[in-house]
Structure 1
Amino acid sequence: MSEGRRAAFFDVDETLITAKSMFLFLRHWLADNGDDGTVYRRQADALRATVGQGLPREVGNRAYYGNFAGARVSDVLAAGQAWYAGYRRRPDAFVTACVAALERHRAAGDEVVLVSGSFEACLAPIAEDLGAGLVLCSDPRTAPDGTYTGEVGTPMIGVAKAEAVTKTIAGLGVAASDCYAYGDHSSDLGMLGVVGHPVVVGEDTVLGDIACKQGWPVLPAAGGRRDDR
């Protein structure tokens, strides 16, 4: 066990950034490929319907990656960089209280880890910008020709997040009781429960009730700028 070392795990969508990266990136990707908004609305409505029908979030996550079947991985990654370069200029792009917490962890020398159901195209530029050393995310399958198959291995949601965080803590050789985790949704509860310092972001009712009972800190989800780069 490494004395004095800690890790801080951050959900991304509506925890570090104020938006749902997967939806915004899908709109960006489809627009770049000639969509006038019609295909995006249809696909977004279908994805939201899975939640409305009470299906597990993992179902919607798997369906999402079907939108990239046949696309070259390199093209999608490049599109992710372009999307984020525009997104980060929004005046409300970041959950300022949570980004400030991340920056404090970095200053303290903690390992900063992003944990998200999103994928590399969205998360790599965010991790680079915020200085996260590790990213735990969904893993869309790729074909030998360098394209996405439209399938995904493990959606990084719910139980998968808790398992990935637990495995990462062990791999880093740090104590779970010293680690932090930040999440905004009830699906983050498993991840929050495996560290010694869980922090709730925003006003999710389920997490809010548990935070009140357990004495967990709650950060506001107000959005703002990070800097002018």
Structure 2
Amino acid sequence: MTTQNGAPGPGAPERGIAFFDVDETLIGPKSMFSFLEFHLRDGSRPTGTYEQAVARLRETAARGVPRRDVNRLYYRLLAGESVEGLRDAGRAWFSEAARAPGFWHTPVLERLRRHRAEGDLVVLLSGSFFACLDPIAEAAGAHWALGTRPVVRDGLLTGEVLVPMIGETKGVAARAAAAVRNVSPSSCTAYGDHSSDLALLSAVGAPVVVGEDAELVAHAEAEGWERLPSGHPAPAPLEEGTQHSRR
């Protein structure tokens, strides 16, 4: 999934690209689960539907199933949902969730705004999907948002996805974006909080580790990577009036 917002044209000079993981990096919560809880509490489903769904996903992860495969299982929960219905639900979810203290990680959001002000292309990379990423990207002022892309037939999600935007796929996506924009990866920056972001962080010249993930902290200490704290609620209002094209 790609959203765009005022990205510099092909002939414009590029400073670089700033890549941002989303969940627990740019924002505090895990967007997919926060959205799912909001979406499943609409009264049309039995009590406990969300809890049961999350329990199954957690059990699967606890068995050592790769994160990308758990990501696929999440989208099977949305089989039969309409794209437009999920877009509407995503906007409603964001309107509520973004008001909660701790939704935005202030230090990372401030970095995003700085990159944009300095002329960098700002790209979100996430295992989440359009219902969550579109409103986040619009509010934060990101130019592109690349997430896991659900398979759609006749306007409905099939429950399957293309390639989950997890792990190595983030590194591939970052290198591809740099090639498309004719930017050297060495002039790019990336922010991530989890060991699954290592491929992304390793693909750029200026990796930034957010938070205290043990594996990433070890890499940061060994390689001299910059580190940022997890962050605090953002006090300033977000940008308004940005426009994004949909998938």
TM-score by length of 2: 0.89
> How do residues 121-200 of structure 1 correspond to structure 2 at under 5 angstroms?
121-143=131-153, 145-200=154-209
SS in structure 1 opposite 2:158?
strand
Shift of 1:124: 0.2
Aligned ranges for residues 1-229 of structure 1 at < 5 Å?
Answer: 4-35=14-45, 37-143=47-153, 145-228=154-237
Which stretch shows the higher mean deviation, 49-58 or 131-140?
A: 49-58
Decide whether aligned partners of structure 1 residues 68 and 52 sit closer, same or farther in structure 2, where only a CA change above 3 A counts: same
Q: Which runs of 5+ in 1 are unaligned?
A: none
Displacement, 1:122? 0.3
What CA distance in whole angstroms lies between the structure 1 residues aligned with 2:68 and 2:232?
27
Instruction: Give the whole-Å Cα distance in 1 for the aligned partners of 2:235 and 2:138.
Output: 14
Partner SS for 1:127: helix
Number of residues of Structure 1 aligned to a counterpart in Structure 2: 228
**1:222–1:5 CA distance, 2 compared to 1 (3 A):** closer
What is the CA–CA distance in structure 2 between the aligned matches of 1:220 and 1:37, rounded to whole Å? 37
CA distance in structure 2 between the aligned counterparts of 1:161 and 1:179, rounded to whole angstroms? 14
Moved more, 133-142 or 49-58: 49-58
Aligned Cα RMSD in Å? 1.5
Give the conservation status (yes or no) of the 8 Å contact 2:210–2:227: yes
Which amino acid in the other structure matches residue 190 of structure 1? A
- State how far apart, in whole Å, the 2-side matches of 1:134 and 1:13 are: 16
TM-score under structure 1 normalisation?
Answer: 0.96
User: Matched residues, percent identical?
Assistant: 46
* Partner Cα distance (1:207, 1:191) in 2: 12
Structure 1 runs of 4+ aligned residues shifted over 4 Å read 1-4
Measured after TM superposition, the shift of residue 222 of structure 1 is 2.5
The one-letter code of the counterpart of 1:24 is S
Q: 1:226 to 1:83 in 2, by over 3 A?
A: farther
Structure 2 unaligned runs (5+)? 1-10, 239-247
User: How far apart, in 2, do the equivalents of 1:228 and 1:130 lie?
Assistant: 10
Higher helix share: 1
Partner deviation per Cα, 1:139-195 (whole Å, 9 max, x = no partner): 10001x211001111100001111111101100111111100000000000010010
One-letter code of the match for 1:91?
Answer: P
